[in-house]
Structure 1
Amino acid sequence: MYQNLPNILTLSRIIIIPIIVLLFLFDGNRWLMLIIFSIAGITDFFDGYIARSQKKISKVGIFLDPVADKLLVATVILMLVADDRITGSAILPALIILFREILVSGLREFLAQVRKKLPV
C-alpha cells in the first residue's frame, strides 16, 4: 500500500482534514484553508487517474477513496455551517449534499454485499 501512489494520495486527503480543522478552530487564514481544500480536491482526481492508467487499483484504494471524499466534504460543510458561512436557506442544499454522501455510502455498502457495482 505504501508504494502505491494513488493510495498515498488518498491517505493525504484524510491527513489534510485535521489540518483544515485546526486552521479553522484557531482562526487560521481562510485563503490557506481554501488552497489546502483545493489541493485535496486535485488529489481526488489524480489518485483515480493514476490508479486506472498505471493499473494500480487496489482494494484499499477502492474502499478509502470514497471515505476520504465524504470525510473531507462533510467536515468542510459542517465547519462552514458552524461558522455561519452557510446560513438560512443555503443550509438546505448543504444538508442535501451531506444526506447524499451518506446515502451513496450506504447504497454502495449494500450493493457490495449483493455483488453489484454503482458507478461514480
Structure 2
Amino acid sequence: MLTLPNLLTLSRIVAMPVMVLLLWHPRPWDYAVAFGLYVLVGITDYFDGYLARAQGAVSRLGIFLDPIADKIMVATVIVMLLFTRAIDGPAVIAALIILVREIAVSGLREFLAELRVSMPVSQLAKWKTTFQLVSLGALILAGALPEQAWISWVGLFCLWSAAGLTAVTGWDYLRVGLKHMD
C-alpha cells in the first residue's frame, strides 16, 4: 500500500495545505514558491503513474487516489486564485465551469463504476487538462512576476480554452452516462 507511486500521490494531497498557506496573503515571493510547488506536484503526478506501471505496482489505492489528488489540486488552486483575485471578473465563470465539471464527472464515474461501465478519458479531455494545468500555472507565475502582464493573459486565455473544452467533454461524458440511467 505504501509504494513509491502511492506516496507520490499522497504527497500531492499533502502539498495542497502548503499551497493554501502560500496563496493566503501572497507576495511575489509566495507566488514564486507556490509556482515551484505547483510544478513539483505536476512532476509527481506524471511519475506516480509512470512508476506504478513500470514497477508493476498499480494498486487499487493508487487508482482510487490519483484522480482525487488531481481534483483536490485543481480545486485548491482555482479557489485560491479566486481568493487572491488572480481570477476575477468574467473569468470566474470559466473557473466555475471547470469546478462544476470536475465534480459532476467524478460523480458520474462513481455511478457508472457501480454498473461496471468504464468511461475512458478522451483525447479532447487530455487537451482540456493540458490547458487547465497551463492556465493555473501561468496564473500563479503571474503573481510572482507582476510586471510581466502577458503571463496573466496567457493564463486567462488557457483558462477560457480549458473551460470551453471542459463544457464539451463534460457534455460528452454526460451523454454516455445518461444511456445507463433509467
TM-score for both structures, normalised by structure 1: 0.93
Partner of 1:21: 20
Moved more, 109-118 or 70-79: 109-118
- Deviation digits for residues 77-105 of structure 1 (CA, Å, limit 9, x no counterpart): 01101111101111111111111211121
% identical equivalent positions:
55
For 1:47 and 1:118, the matched residues in 2 are separated by: 21
- Deviation digits for residues 50-101 of structure 1 (CA, Å, limit 9, x no counterpart): 1122211111001111111101110110110111110111111111111121
Structure 2, gaps ≥5 residues long? 122-182
Q: Which amino acid aligns with 1:18?
A: P
Structure 1, gaps ≥5 residues long? none
For 2:92 and 2:15, the matched residues in 1 are separated by: 24
Partner of 1:40: 41
**What CA RMSD, in Å, does the superposition of the two structures yield over aligned residues?**
1.2
Partner of 2:60: 59
Q: Which amino acid aligns with 2:98?
A: I
SS of aligned partner of 2:91: helix
Moved more, 22-31 or 109-118: 22-31
How much has 1:27 moved relative to structure 2?
A: 2.9
Aligned pair count reads 119
TM-score for both structures, normalised by structure 2: 0.62
For 1:82 and 1:36, the matched residues in 2 are separated by: 18
Structural mapping, 1:1-120, within 5 Å:
1-2=1-2, 4-27=3-26, 29-120=30-121
For 1:55 and 1:117, the matched residues in 2 are separated by: 22
For 2:120 and 2:53, the matched residues in 1 are separated by: 14
Partner of 2:174: none
For 2:88 and 2:23, the matched residues in 1 are separated by: 17
Q: Of the two, which has the highest radius of gyration?
A: 2
